C-alpha cells in the first residue's frame, strides 16, 4: 500500500511537470496553427493569434515550455473560433433583417 | 507649408465674432505611445489675437486643451476688411502666425 | 494617465522649484522655452485653489452671473466643448479648471477692454469631474461649476 | 404523384421545412433586403428623418447632437479637407491627375461608390479607385486607413455632400455573389466576443456601449472619412472596419480585402437614398 501511494505520488508530481521537449513544442505549435487556419480569415480570434505569435517567438527563443503552453492556449481558442466559423456559415441567416 | 491656423472673423457692426482652429498635437505628456513610452508634453502655451496693434485676447493653455484646439470669442469693434493677426507659441518654442481679413 | 504622473512629474516639479530658488529659471529656458507670460506654476497645480492662488492671488465665490455651458455626458473625454460667459461688467479674465485632471487649470484667457465676456473652447477630461468656470470682474473672482460625466477618458489618445 | 397519395408524415415534414425555416429559404433579392432593412430602421427610429441617418449616433441622441453641432462650428477635419483638395488638384509626374480617372472629373461622385466592375468581377471602392488611378499613372499607391487617403476621400466626399447613395447591383451573378458575401459578413458572428456587425449596429443601435452611442447601420458609411476624437485623426472606412473587428476581438482583415469591400458594397446598397455627409466627425 505504501509503495503504491509512493508511486502514485511520484506520478502525480512528475507527470504534469514534465518539461516539454523541442519536438513537443514544435508539434504543438504546428497543430495549433493548423487548427486556426480552418477558421475563415474574417473569423479568426485576436487572442488565438496572439497566443500563436507568443508560441512562435518562444520557439525562436528555445523556451519549449512557454511555446507548448502558448500553443495549448492558441489551440483551445482556435478550436472555438473554428466552431463559430462553421456554425455561422448558416446561422447568420437567422439574424438577417428581412 | 500650409498654415497651422484657420480663422473665421466676422464683423457684426459693433463687434467681431472670431473662431479659430489650430493644428497642433497638444500632447499632454501623460500619454504613452504604442511601445509604452511616454510621449513628451508638446502643447501650445499662448495664443494672441492682435487687432490694430492691440491684443484683444490672450489665451494661456495647459496640456488639457484638446488636440487641434478651437477657440471662440468676440471683441468690440472691427470692420470688414480689417486685419486680425493670430500667433501661437508652444512649450518647445515653436510658433506660427497668420493674418486674416475680417469678413 | 494618473499613474504616469507620479514619479516623473514630482521629480520635474522639484527640479523646477529648485531652479526657481536658485534664480536660474531663465537659464532653464534653453531646455524648455516657455512662452513669455505663460503662468507655468499655476498650470502645474493639482487643486483649483492652489492654481487660482498662483494665477490671481485670491479665491472665488459662486455666482449666478457666470454661465457655464458643458455637456452632461461627454461624447469623448478627448474633446469636451466648454463655454463660459458672464453678464458681469468689466470682465478682465476667464479661466477654466477641471479638478480631476492631473493639473487642475486647463485654460486661462485675458481679455482686453471691450472684448465680450464669453469664451468657447474644447478640453480634454481624464475622467468624470466638475468643470469650474472662473470670471474675474472688478478685481474679484466669480465662479460656476457643473459636473461632466466622462465614460471614454480623453487621455488615452 | 399527387399529394393525396403521399404519406401524411411526409407532408408534415415538408410543412415543417417550409414554415420552420429548416430548409434554406429562397434567397431574398437585394431589392427586397433593402426595403426590409430601411423599414427596420425607420420603424426603430420613427422620429429620425430618413436623410438624418447619415449622421449616425447624432441622429438618435440629442445631447450628443448638441456637442456635435458645437464641434461642427469649426470641424477638426478642416485641415485634412484642404490637404485633400490640394493633392486632388496637383497633377501626377506624368501630367495627368485624379480628375482624369473619374466620371465628372471626380467631383460629386462619392455616392456612386462602391460599384461592381463587370470587367474584373470585383467591387471597387472609392479608396481602391484612387489607388488604381495612382498606379495607372505611375504613382505609388497610398496607404489605406488614414493620412493622405483620408484627406483625398474627404475632399471627394465634400464635393458630393447631400447627394444620395446611388449604388447599383448589375445583372451579373458575380455582383449578386459579392453582395451576398457582404451581407453574410454583416450578419455573421465573429471574434471572441461572438458579436456580429449587426449585433451592435442593428439590434443595439442607439444604445450606449462603453460610453459610445452605437450608430444605426443604415447610412453608417455616408459620413466617411471621419475625424474621430478617439483617434485624434482622420480615418477611412478601412480604419473603421479594422477597429470594429478588433472591438469584437476578431483578427482584422487587410485593408481593401475582398470581404471588407463586399461589406462596404452591402452596407452602401442598403443605404441607397441616404445623402453623403462626409467628411464627418465622431466621438
Domains of chain B, start order = 5-29+38-101 (2.60.40.10)
**Of residues D85, D139, D115, D96, the one with CA closest to residue D265:** D115
Q: Is B9 on the interface with C (CB under 8 A)?
A: no
- Mean predicted confidence (pLDDT) in D33-59: 94
A abuts B (3+ Cβ pairs < 8 Å): no
- Please indicate whether, in this complex, the C-beta atoms of D76 and B68 are within 8 angstroms of each other: yes
**Is cis: bond before D225, omega within 30 of 0?**
yes
What's the rounded Cα separation, in Å, for the pair D205 and D198? 9
What's the rounded Cα separation, in Å, for the pair D167 and C52? 58
Residue corresponding to grid cell 536658485: C22
Domain membership of residue C11 as a residue range: 1-33
Of D73, D79, D229, the CB nearest to B23: D79
Q: What is the pLDDT along chain A (98 residues), one digit of tens a residue?
A: 555 555 555 454 444 445 778 899 999 999 999 999 998 888 899 999 999 999 999 999 999 999 999 999 999 999 999 999 999 999 999 999 98
- Mean predicted confidence (pLDDT) in D150-175: 97
- Please indicate whether, in this complex, the C-beta atoms of D187 and A77 are within 8 angstroms of each other: no
- Mean predicted confidence (pLDDT) in D227-247: 93
In a domain, C19, yes or no: yes
User: What are the pLDDT digits (tens) for C83-111?
Assistant: 999 999 989 999 999 999 999 999 999 99
Sign of CA dihedral C139, C140, C146, C151: positive
The residues near B38 (Cβ < 8 Å, ≥ 6 apart) are: B29, B30, B31, B32, C4, C8
**Chain C closest-CA separation from residue D149 CA (Å):** 21
pLDDT at D156 over 80: yes
Does C18 lie in the same domain as C77?
Answer: no
Q: What is the pLDDT of residue C23?
A: 37
Helix, strand and coil in chain A, % to nearest 5? 80, 0, 20
Question: Could you give the percent of chain D with pLDDT greater than 90?
Answer: 78
Does C139 lie in the same domain as C66?
Answer: yes
D244 part of the active site: yes
Q: How many CB atoms lie within 10 A of CB C58?
A: 11
**Chain B closest-CA separation from residue C62 CA (Å):** 23
In a domain, C156, yes or no: no
Neighbours of chain B (3+ CB pairs under 8 A): C, D
The residues near D161 (Cβ < 8 Å, ≥ 6 apart) are: D275, D276, D277, D278
Q: What is the pLDDT of residue C114?
A: 81
Please state the pTM of the whole predicted model: 0.82
Q: Is B85 on the interface with C (CB under 8 A)?
A: no
Distances (CA, A) of D238 to A40, D98, D225, D257: 19, 21, 9, 9
- Mean predicted confidence (pLDDT) in B19-44: 90
Domain boundaries, chain A: 20-95
**Is cis: bond before D132, omega within 30 of 0?**
no
Q: What is the pLDDT of residue C11?
A: 42
What's the rounded Cα separation, in Å, for the pair D244 and B48? 41
- Please indicate whether, in this complex, the C-beta atoms of C78 and D232 are within 8 angstroms of each other: yes
Q: Is B75 on the interface with C (CB under 8 A)?
A: yes
What single-letter DSSP state applies at residue D201?
Answer: I
Does C126 lie in the same domain as C70?
Answer: yes
- Kindly indicate whether the domain formed by D30-283 is annotated with CATH number 1.10.357.10: no
Neighbours of chain D (3+ CB pairs under 8 A): A, B, C
Does C81 lie in the same domain as C22?
Answer: no
In a domain, C38, yes or no: no
Residues of A in contact with D189 (CB under 8 A): 84, 88, 91-92, 95
Distances (CA, A) of D221 to B9, C122, D267: 33, 26, 7
User: What are the pLDDT digits (tens) for B42-63?
Assistant: 999 999 999 999 999 999 999 9
In a domain, C39, yes or no: no
pLDDT band at D280 (very low <50, low <70, confident <90, very high): very high
Q: What is the pLDDT of residue C22?
A: 37
pLDDT band at D25 (very low <50, low <70, confident <90, very high): low
User: What are the pLDDT digits (tens) for C123-152?
Assistant: 999 999 999 999 999 999 999 999 999 986
Buried b (16+ CB within 10 A) or exposed e, C71-94: bebbbbbbbbbbbbbbebeebbbb
Find the catalytic residue in D17, D197, D200, D244: D244
Write phi, then psi, for D167 (nearest 5 degrees): -100, 135
Does C113 lie in the same domain as C79?
Answer: yes
User: What are the pLDDT digits (tens) for D241-268?
Assistant: 999 999 999 999 999 999 999 999 999 9
Of D67, D76, D232, the CB nearest to C71: D67
What's the rounded Cα separation, in Å, for the pair D189 and D196? 4
Q: What is the pLDDT of residue C5?
A: 37
Beta strands in chain D (DSSP E): 115-117, 122-124, 208-209, 212-213, 226-228, 233-235, 280-282
D abuts A (3+ Cβ pairs < 8 Å): yes
Identify residues of D whose CB sits under 8 angstroms from chain B CBs: 71, 73-74, 76, 78-79, 82-83, 86, 229, 232
Residue corresponding to grid cell 449616425: D56
> Residue C140's beta-bridge partner residues?
C137
Does C146 lie in the same domain as C107?
Answer: yes
User: What is the ipTM metric for this complex?
Assistant: 0.78
pLDDT at D6 over 50: no
In a domain, C157, yes or no: no
Closest residue in B to C78 (Cα) is B66
The residues near D171 (Cβ < 8 Å, ≥ 6 apart) are: none
Q: What is the pLDDT of residue B17?
A: 94
Provide the grid cell at D61: 441622441
> Is B7 strand, coil or helix?
strand
Does C115 lie in the same domain as C58?
Answer: yes
Does C80 lie in the same domain as C143?
Answer: yes
**Of residues B15, D44, A68, the one with CA closest to residue C112:** B15
Of D70, D208, D229, the CB nearest to C76: D229
CATH number of the domain that residue C103 is part of: 2.60.40.2470
Q: How many domains does chain C have?
A: 2
Write phi, then psi, for C127 (nearest 5 degrees): -160, 180
Provide the grid cell at D270: 442598403
Element (H, E) at D270: helix D258-270
Whether residue B99 contacts residue B84, with contact meaning beta carbons closer than 8 Å, is answered with yes
pLDDT at C29 over 70: no
Does C29 lie in the same domain as C53?
Answer: no
Neighbours of chain C (3+ CB pairs under 8 A): B, D
> Residue C106's beta-bridge partner residues?
none
Amino acid at each position: 500500500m505504501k509503495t503504491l501511494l509512493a508511486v502514485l505520488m511520484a506520478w502525480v508530481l512528475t507527470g504534469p511537470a514534465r518539461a516539454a521537449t523541442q519536438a513537443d513544442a514544435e508539434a504543438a505549435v504546428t497543430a495549433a496553427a493548423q487548427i486556426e487556419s480552418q477558421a475563415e480569415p474574417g473569423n479568426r480570434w485576436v487572442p488565438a493569434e496572439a497566443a500563436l505569435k507568443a508560441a512562435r517567438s518562444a520557439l525562436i527563443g528555445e523556451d519549449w515550455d512557454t511555446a507548448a503552453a502558448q500553443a495549448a492556449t492558441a489551440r483551445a481558442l482556435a478550436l472555438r473560433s473554428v466552431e463559430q466559423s462553421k456554425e455561422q456559415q448558416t446561422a447568420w441567416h437567422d439574424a438577417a433583417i428581412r | 507649408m500650409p498654415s497651422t491656423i484657420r480663422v473665421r472673423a466676422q464683423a457684426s457692426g459693433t463687434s467681431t465674432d472670431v473662431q479659430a482652429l489650430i493644428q497642433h498635437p497638444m500632447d499632454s505628456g501623460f500619454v504613452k505611445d504604442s511601445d509604452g513610452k511616454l510621449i513628451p508634453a508638446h502643447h501650445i502655451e499662448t495664443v494672441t489675437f492682435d487687432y490694430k496693434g492691440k491684443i484683444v485676447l490672450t489665451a494661456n493653455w495647459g496640456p488639457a486643451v484638446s488636440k487641434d484646439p478651437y477657440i471662440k470669442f468676440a471683441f468690440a469693434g472691427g470692420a470688414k476688411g480689417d486685419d486680425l493677426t493670430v500667433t501661437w507659441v508652444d512649450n518647445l518654442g515653436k510658433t506660427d502666425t497668420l493674418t486674416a481679413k475680417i469678413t | 494617465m494618473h499613474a504616469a504622473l507620479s514619479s516623473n512629474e514630482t521629480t520635474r516639479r522639484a527640479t523646477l522649484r529648485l531652479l526657481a530658488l536658485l534664480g536660474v529659471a531663465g537659464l532653464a529656458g534653453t531646455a524648455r522655452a516657455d512662452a513669455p507670460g505663460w503662468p507655468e506654476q499655476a498650470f502645474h497645480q493639482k487643486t483649483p485653489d492652489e492654481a487660482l492662488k498662483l494665477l490671481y492671488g485670491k479665491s472665488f465665490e459662486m455666482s449666478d452671473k457666470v454661465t457655464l455651458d458643458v455637456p452632461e455626458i461627454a461624447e469623448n473625454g478627448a474633446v469636451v466643448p466648454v463655454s463660459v460667459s458672464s453678464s458681469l461688467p468689466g470682465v478682465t479674465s476667464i479661466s477654466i479648471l477641471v479638478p480631476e485632471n492631473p493639473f487642475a487649470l486647463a485654460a486661462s484667457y485675458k481679455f482686453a477692454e471691450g472684448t465680450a465676456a464669453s469664451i468657447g473652447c474644447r478640453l480634454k477630461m481624464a475622467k468624470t469631474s466638475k468643470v469650474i468656470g472662473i470670471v474675474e470682474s472688478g478685481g474679484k473672482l466669480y465662479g460656476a461649476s457643473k459636473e461632466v460625466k466622462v465614460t471614454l477618458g480623453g487621455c488615452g489618445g | 404523384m399527387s399529394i393525396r397519395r403521399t404519406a401524411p408524415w411526409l407532408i408534415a415534414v415538408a410543412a415543417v421545412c417550409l414554415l420552420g425555416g429548416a430548409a434554406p429559404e429562397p434567397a431574398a433579392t437585394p431589392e427586397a433586403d433593402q426595403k426590409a432593412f430601411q423599414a427596420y430602421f425607420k420603424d426603430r427610429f420613427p422620429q429620425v428623418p430618413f436623410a438624418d441617418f447619415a449622421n449616425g449616433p447624432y441622429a438618435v441622441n440629442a445631447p450628443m447632437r448638441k456637442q456635435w453641432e458645437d464641434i461642427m462650428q469649426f470641424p477638426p477635419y478642416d485641415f485634412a479637407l484642404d490637404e485633400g483638395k490640394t493633392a486632388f488638384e496637383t497633377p501626377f509626374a506624368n501630367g495627368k491627375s485624379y480628375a482624369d480617372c473619374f466620371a465628372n472629373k471626380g467631383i460629386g461622385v462619392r455616392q456612386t461608390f462602391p460599384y461592381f466592375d463587370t470587367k474584373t468581377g470585383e467591387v471597387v471602392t472609392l479608396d481602391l479607385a484612387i489607388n488604381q488611378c495612382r498606379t495607372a499613372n505611375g504613382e505609388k499607391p497610398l496607404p489605406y486607413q488614414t493620412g493622405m487617403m483620408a484627406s483625398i476621400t474627404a475632399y471627394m466626399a465634400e464635393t458630393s455632400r447631400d447627394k444620395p447613395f446611388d449604388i447599383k447591383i448589375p445583372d451579373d451573378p458575380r455582383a449578386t455573389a459579392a453582395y451576398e458575401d457582404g451581407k453574410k459578413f454583416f450578419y455573421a458572428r465573429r471574434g471572441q466576443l461572438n458579436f456580429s456587425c449587426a449585433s451592435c449596429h442593428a439590434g443595439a443601435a442607439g444604445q450606449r456601449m462603453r460610453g459610445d452611442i452605437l450608430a444605426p447601420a443604415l447610412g453608417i458609411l455616408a459620413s466617411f472619412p471621419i475625424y474621430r476624437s478617439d483617434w485624434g485623426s482622420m480615418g477611412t472606412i478601412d480604419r473603421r472596419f479594422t477597429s470594429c473587428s478588433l472591438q469584437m476581438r476578431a483578427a482584422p482583415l487587410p485593408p481593401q480585402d475582398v470581404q471588407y469591400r463586399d461589406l462596404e458594397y452591402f452596407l452602401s446598397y442598403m443605404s441607397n437614398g441616404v445623402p453623403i455627409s462626409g467628411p464627418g466627425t465622431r466621438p
